[in-house]
């Protein structure tokens, strides 16, 4: 009998579709972010704050992933941007095929910013490329400053670390500086933000970083 590694076959197919997604995004000049975290870290709140501040100048498409419900997509749509829910059933992550399918049904031919809110999980999404520019890892202070040490593959796969809910620092034993240090020991190239969607602390820096990235994409598209 010959053993077939089905997991490797699934990942290989995902990589093929991710390449196609990335090519499509590059042709349209889209900045694509894949937000990854454990459940309850504040992904949807950050998406809401982001679209509120950028929707006037940039076209935005949001994909939200959960096992069940359309709650997150409904929260985003109330801000006047296109948002599509991906219900994964029992799957613990989004894959490139799911993204490709929803892009095909999108209302506009291109978007300046595509935000993918992945399923809350710090394990499986690290292995699945969706065609994004960057994975943005969110860790809230309530989760503990040792979280990066517990999930190093996700830290290594990410380009940005957003330390969220920093307004809760007085009520936890977590140290945001130590959290950042632990993450940077694993991935020294991380860009780190300290954010609170409740008090708005750090959001100006986050939005400024996004605007710079969007402007760079727009210039590249204009050059052809």
Q: Report yes or no on 1 lying in a domain.
A: no
Q: Report yes or no on 158 lying in a domain.
A: yes
Which is more confident, 8 or 219? 219
Q: Report yes or no on 8 lying in a domain.
A: no
Burial of 171 (0-12, 13-18, 19+ CB in 10 A): exposed
Q: Report yes or no on 166 lying in a domain.
A: yes
pLDDT of residue 21: 97
Q: Tens of pLDDT along 118-144?
A: 999 999 999 999 999 999 999 999 999
Mean of the pLDDT values across residues 28-40? 97
Q: CATH no. for residue 35? A: 3.40.50.300
Q: Report yes or no on 83 lying in a domain.
A: yes
| Confidence class for position 2, pLDDT limits 50, 70, 90 | low
Q: Report yes or no on 154 lying in a domain.
A: yes
pLDDT of residue 68: 85
pTM above 0.75, yes or no: yes
| Confidence class for position 8, pLDDT limits 50, 70, 90 | low
pLDDT of residue 62: 98
| Confidence class for position 6, pLDDT limits 50, 70, 90 | very low
Residue 46: phi and psi, rounded to 5, are -70, -40
pLDDT score of 4 more than 60: no
Q: Report yes or no on 186 lying in a domain.
A: yes
Compute the Cα dihedral for 91, 93, 94, 97 and give only its sign: negative
pLDDT of residue 7: 52
Burial of 55 (0-12, 13-18, 19+ CB in 10 A): middle
Considering its fold, how many domains does the chain have in total? 1
CA pair distance 3, 149, nearest whole angstrom: 34
**Domain of 217?**
14-223
Q: Report yes or no on 90 lying in a domain.
A: yes
């Amino acid at each position: 009998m010959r053993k077939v590694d089905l997991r490797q076959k699934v990942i290989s197919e995902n990589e093929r579709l991710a390449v196609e997604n990335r090519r499509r995004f590059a042709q349209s000049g889209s900045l694509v972010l894949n937000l990854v975290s454990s459940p309850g870290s504040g992904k949807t709140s950050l998406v809401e704050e982001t679209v509120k501040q950028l929707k006037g100048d940039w076209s935005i498409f949001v994909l939200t992933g959960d096992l069940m419900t359309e709650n997150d997509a409904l929260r985003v749509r109330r801000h006047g941007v296109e948002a599509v829910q991906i219900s994964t059933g029992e799957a613990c992550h989004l894959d490139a095929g799911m993204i490709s399918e929803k892009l095909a049904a999108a209302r506009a031919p291109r978007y300046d910013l595509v935000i993918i809110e992945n399923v809350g999980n710090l394990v499986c999404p690290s292995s699945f490329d969706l065609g994004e520019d960057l994975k943005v890892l969110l860790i809230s202070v309530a989760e503990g400053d040792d979280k990066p040490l517990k999930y190093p593959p996700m830290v290594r796969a990410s380009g940005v670390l957003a330390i969220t809910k920093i307004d809760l620092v007085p009520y936890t034993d977590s140290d945001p500086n130590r959290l950042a240090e632990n993450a940077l020991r694993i991935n020294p190239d991380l860009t780190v933000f300290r954010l609170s969607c409740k008090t708005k602390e750090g959001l100006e820096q986050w939005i400024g970083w996004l605007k710079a990235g969007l402007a760079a994409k727009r210039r590249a598209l204009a050059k052809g």
